Amino acid sequence: MHINMTINGTDVTREIEPRVLLVHFIRDDLRLTGTHWGCDTSNCGTCVVLMDGQPVKSCTVLAAMADGHSITTVEGLANGTTLDPVQQGFMEEHGLQCGFCTPGMMLTARALLDHNPHPEPLEIREAISGQICRCTGYATIVRSIQWAAEHPVGTAETAATTEEEAVHA
Amino acid sequence: MTILEDRPSNPAAGDHDRPIGHGRMQRKEDPRFVRGKGHYVDDIVLPGMLHGAILRAPVAHARLVSIDTTEALAHPKVLAVITGTDLQALGLAWAPTLSMDVQAVLVTDKVRFQGQEVAFVVAEDRYAARDALELIQVEYDVLPPVVDARKAMDADAPVIRDDLEGRTDNHIFDWEAGNKAETDAVFASADVVVTQEIVYPRVHPAPMETCGAVADFDPIDGRLTLYETTQAPHAHRTLFAMVSGIPEHKIRVVSPDIGGGFGNKVGIYPGYILAVVGSIVTGKPVKWVEDRSENLMSTSFARDYIMQGEIAATRDGKILALRTNVLADHGAFNATAQPTKYPAGFFHIFTGSYDLQAAHCTVTGVYTNKAPGGVAYACSFRVTEAVYLVERMVDILARKLEMDPAELRLKNFIKPEQFPYPNKTGWEYDSGDYEPTMRLSMKMAGYDELRREQKEKRERGELMGIGISFFTETVGAGPRKDMDILGLGMADGAELRIHPTGKAVVRISVQSQGQGHETTFAQIVAEEIGIPPEDIDVVHGDTDQTPFGLGTYGSRSTPVSGAAVALVARKVREKARFIAAAMLETRPEDLEWEKGRWFVKGDPSIGKTMAEIAMGAHGTVALPEGIDGNLDAEVTYDPPNLTFPFGAYICVVDVDPGTGHVKVRRFIAVDDCGTRINPMIIEGQIHGGLTDGVGMALMEFIEFDAEGNCLGGSFMDYLIPTAMEVPDWETGFTVTPSPHHPIGAKGVGESATVGSPPAVVNAVVDALAPFGVVHMDMPCTPARVWEAMQGRTRPPV
């Protein structure tokens, strides 16, 4: 079947099988491999992307269901070369180790901060409770999201680090 | 955040009592991971790549009657269907395991556990491969399974491994350590003896990324490139050469970014071999990535030790001896990963942190109709089991003696002046100063205040528990003379090259799965030669690019490879001295080192930086005799001993008397891993391990029903803590360096997973003391806790 959606601000049109999961569409068809696949029962949340700004587990959405919607993946989280404060926060507060859950965690954090710019630690824990991390023990993820809340988009810290990284890239 | 900034001074630590330069630096790995630009196995796409999927057995024990692949082969997108018969023709139906047993790659004779590999489909895409699995017709003749390890040795137990010549029972091995006669004598005359059966149930490491591989066999030059989720790429290369007959120089194993390992990704799984066979058969690259259920049901489980513990003491609380008999459930094939001479790993560290007069253990391994494994999930080769046993037994003894469990531990610790301490089962602990570490954890917890609070709560009928665990780890396997894996000595290599402009690359033989090696190994080199860590690239995971070594598990990276890296940097630094001397037209012995620079003794203004020396080394300076050009070196490090980090953990739980729900309210963890390379990364390692501990103690469990059906085969049943089930961790540290390690650093990655389960269970049992509960087995789920409160400690399954 024919589908059309916006991925990270770009329109994409593809022919797909109706049964294809959004996670596989994103990874295999669009080659956006930052979105991961960690379970087969919709528990782990490594596949979380934003659909119209809301976090969804893309393993539990058919690509066909995303027809006409706007999807943001981890690759679309930064604004050009400027990192989203959530990305910066995860680096500052060591909110990641193996990095496998990180894209999903960050997208959930982005959605949380978009509707609640100053969440309490318990609110952060609730927000990410649909996601599993095996490495961090969560405390540093909570700190990372708090860091992002304290450093909204465009702060000097975020921009400066990004420029420096851009030079090295 | 509760990093303890005012850490206690440790005079013995001297210069080691601080992190390595650049201490809490941000990770070099992070920029790619936060952008979704990591490079994991399933991200790899090669031209013409096909997808494999495995058909798995629906039953635990059954004779294979027939397989019909006709319909699957007729599927328009299917290129190959491989069965056990096909593999038999190639001599690949069975593969050696890390325990000198063999494991079926695909079933040829009979199924031995549910989820076992029966056939392999190669198709154009992953959906088609799965479709085709359903088109394969298999007929099974179901046999009675062996599920309960306690019945595995019964006379009438079905023999699982009738493939093994002359095998008439399910016995794998007997192993013992310590002195039985001495131990029995101490027990015979002890004032107090307590005994307890303690089960460490079967759990699973469950890394977020499952296992997978992309095999790319090039038929023209006979080269195999294998991208794999492996923690030990070099060992895999050697084993693949031995199994496949492809010469080792024609095999390149690449371990890219790995989404967590936790011991799950040490061994070779049938899926990897099948991807290789698929690639050879089709002439195209073949990707195989298992799903979560396959991961939980067929890859390496952890634990599954049934331990009969006994502890002897004087009436006033001097612990005299420990003994235990262990029944180890190894599943259908003995694929346990451990050094060859240690079939029960390092379980004999079960004497713990205490100065005993005698100790003895026996371990009996048996086959059951379950997935193979055993050593995984941050166990340091069975140290999880050892520490759990001793720390539970000490608590049970404390209850019997009506002593405070902290006081009992303090009374029995090995004293700092006793190190290096030879324990009663053959270990020589390198260093330790246990009491200050214990005192610090008690201070951070407010231990006396907690006990007062508990007393008040008990009077109100509220259930609060305080659990202590003081553990000694043994990590860094290991000395070549004692330790090998399938004949490969457990040493690690390192190569360091300084480029002409003073930037560097260090190549290591271990393989990060998130532990931050790309950052911390650069920090070690930076400390030794004074080049900033940002200017040092750490290369790992590609067997064509890195020196041979045994890989990352058992918290061995810092002890072994970290030592190799420090020594290779010193070798380069020493070579730099000779080159600097030539450049300065002076004698090497007249030069003095300050970080990053050799200068003339007595005249610091005359000297050469490492960057200047690097350029000189690649330039036209006439070098002294015996010094070749370039600025590089390589070493292989054979550790003289393991490292013995330790820690003091205190857990505070509240138990809901109505539901049996356990809430971990606080968790205080004080770790001592000697010299600390990067405190931020260590903290992260501890946090992750503590979460494992809470998970195992309260939630995680792979169970089987009487037919051998796996009941923990998905995340619907195999529960892992989320952010809601764990507290904000409180961490502290002390520093007692390893005297034999080049930078005094010990391993730490598994400490928290090893040390925390007994703290949680001790807390739960402590909370349930008013009900007379002395012990309960993990996981302490609400149902089990509720049952325990009703006077039953072993609830009905």
**pLDDT digit string, tens, across residues B541-570:** 999 999 999 999 999 999 999 999 999 999
> Could you count the other beta carbons within 10 Å of the beta carbon of residue B492?
30
Cβ atoms of B179 and B360 within 8 Å: the answer is yes
Which among A20, A49, A76 is the end of a domain?
Answer: A76
Distance of alpha carbon B95 from alpha carbon B117, whole angstroms: 13
**Among B1, B2, B3, B35, the residue to mutate for chain A (most A Cβ within 10 A):** B35
Interface of A with B in 65-94 (CB under 8 A): 73-75, 77-78, 83, 87, 90-92, 94
Task: Tell me the nearest-neighbour CA distance from A68 into chain B, angstroms.
Answer: 24
pTM over 0.90: yes
Q: What is the pLDDT of residues B497-516, one digit of tens each?
A: 999 999 999 999 999 999 99
Q: What is the pLDDT of residues B635-647, one digit of tens each?
A: 999 999 999 999 9
Interface of A with B in 91-110 (CB under 8 A): 91-92, 94, 96-103, 106
A18 at B interface, C-beta within 8 A: no
pLDDT of residue B22: 74
In this structure, what CATH number is given to the domain that contains residue A143? 1.10.150.120
- On the question of pLDDT at B111 being above 70, the answer is yes
Averaged pLDDT score across all residues of chain B:
95
Q: Does any domain span residue A26?
A: yes
Paired residues of B302 in beta bridges: B203, B374
A133 at B interface, C-beta within 8 A: yes
Q: Do A98 and B293 touch (CB under 8 A)?
A: no
Same domain, A27 and A91: no
Q: What is the CATH number of domain B417-482+642-797?
A: 3.30.365.10
A37 at B interface, C-beta within 8 A: yes
The pLDDT of B376-404, averaged and rounded, is: 98
Same domain, A62 and A102: no
Strand-by-strand arrangement of the B646-655 sheet: B463-472, B646-655, B662-672, B730-733
pLDDT of residue B19: 66
pLDDT of residue A10: 97
In this structure, what CATH number is given to the domain that contains residue A62? 3.10.20.30
Q: Given B34, B126, B716, which is nearest A90 (Cβ)?
A: B34
Q: Do A34 and B728 touch (CB under 8 A)?
A: no
Paired residues of B710 in beta bridges: B704
Same domain, A101 and A67: no
Q: Given A28, A102, A128, which is nearest B723 (Cβ)?
A: A128
Same domain, A157 and A96: yes
- On the question of pLDDT at B17 being above 60, the answer is no
Same domain, A69 and A89: no
Q: Which residues of B are less than 8 Å from A46 in CB distance?
A: 208
Q: What is the pLDDT of residues A67-77, one digit of tens each?
A: 999 999 999 99
Question: In total, how many domains does chain A have?
Answer: 2
- CA separation (Å) from B578 to B592, B593, B624, B625, B626? 11, 12, 7, 10, 10
Q: Given A46, A77, A121, which is nearest B208 (Cβ)?
A: A46
CA-based nearest residue to B545, from B187, B256, B131:
B256
Q: Classify B11 as helix, strand or coil.
A: helix
For residue B36, give the chain A residue with the closest CA: A34
Same domain, A12 and A64: yes
Q: Would you place residue A152 in the very low, low, confident or very high pLDDT band (cuts 50, 70, 90)? A: confident
Q: Given B30, B36, B687, which is nearest A74 (Cβ)?
A: B36
**Among A32, A93, A98, the residue to mutate for chain B (most B Cβ within 10 A):** A98
Q: Which fold has domain B15-38+491-637?
A: Aldehyde Oxidoreductase; domain 4 (3.30.365)
Q: Do B36 and A138 touch (CB under 8 A)?
A: no
Q: Does any domain span residue A169?
A: no
Which among A34, A51, A76 is the end of a domain?
Answer: A76
Helix axis angle, A156-168 to A85-92, nearest 10°: 80
ipTM comes to 0.96
Q: What is the pLDDT of residues B698-739, one digit of tens each?
A: 999 999 999 999 999 999 999 999 999 999 999 999 999 999
Same domain, A58 and A99: no
pLDDT of residue B791: 80
Q: Does any domain span residue A6?
A: yes
Q: Given B257, B260, B680, which is nearest A134 (Cβ)?
A: B260
> Three-state SS string across chain A, please?
CEEEEEECCEEEEEECCCCCEHHHHHHHHCCCCCCCCCCCCCCCCCCEEEECCEEEEHHHCEHHHHCCCEEECHHHCCECCECCHHHHHHHHCCCCCCCCCHHHHHHHHHHHHHHCCCCCHHHHHHHCCCCCCCCCCCHHHHHHHHHHHHCCCCCHHHHHHHHHHHHHC
Same domain, A18 and A59: yes
Q: Do A97 and B45 touch (CB under 8 A)?
A: no
Which among A40, A59, A76 is the end of a domain?
Answer: A76
Same domain, A134 and A98: yes
Q: Do A98 and B726 touch (CB under 8 A)?
A: no
User: What is the DSSP secondary structure assignment for residue B493, as one 8-state letter?
Assistant: E
pLDDT of residue A154: 52
A10 at B interface, C-beta within 8 A: no
Q: Which residues of B are less than 8 Å from A90 in CB distance?
A: 30, 34
User: Domain range spanning residue A112?
Assistant: 85-164
Q: Would you place residue B795 in the very low, low, confident or very high pLDDT band (cuts 50, 70, 90)? A: very low
- On the question of pLDDT at A120 being above 70, the answer is yes
For residue A43, give the chain B residue with the closest CA: B715
pLDDT of residue B793: 56
- On the question of pLDDT at B779 being above 60, the answer is yes
Task: Tell me the nearest-neighbour CA distance from A6 into chain B, angstroms.
Answer: 18
What is the count of residue pairs from A and B with beta carbons less than 8 Å apart? Answer: 178
> Could you count the other beta carbons within 10 Å of the beta carbon of residue B316?
10
Q: What is the pLDDT of residues B237-278, one digit of tens each?
A: 999 999 999 999 999 999 999 999 999 999 999 999 999 999
Same domain, A66 and A101: no
Q: Does any domain span residue A102?
A: yes
Tokens describing residue A30? 């669009």
Distance of alpha carbon B25 from alpha carbon B7, whole angstroms: 19
Q: Do B716 and A40 touch (CB under 8 A)?
A: no
Q: In chain B, which residues fall in CATH 3.30.365.10?
A: 15-38+491-637, 417-482+642-797
For residue A135, give the chain B residue with the closest CA: B688
pLDDT of residue B5: 34
Amino acid identity for residue B95 in this structure = A
- On the question of pLDDT at B310 being above 70, the answer is yes
Q: Do B728 and A102 touch (CB under 8 A)?
A: no
- On the question of pLDDT at A155 being above 70, the answer is no
Same domain, A7 and A67: yes
pLDDT of residue B7: 34
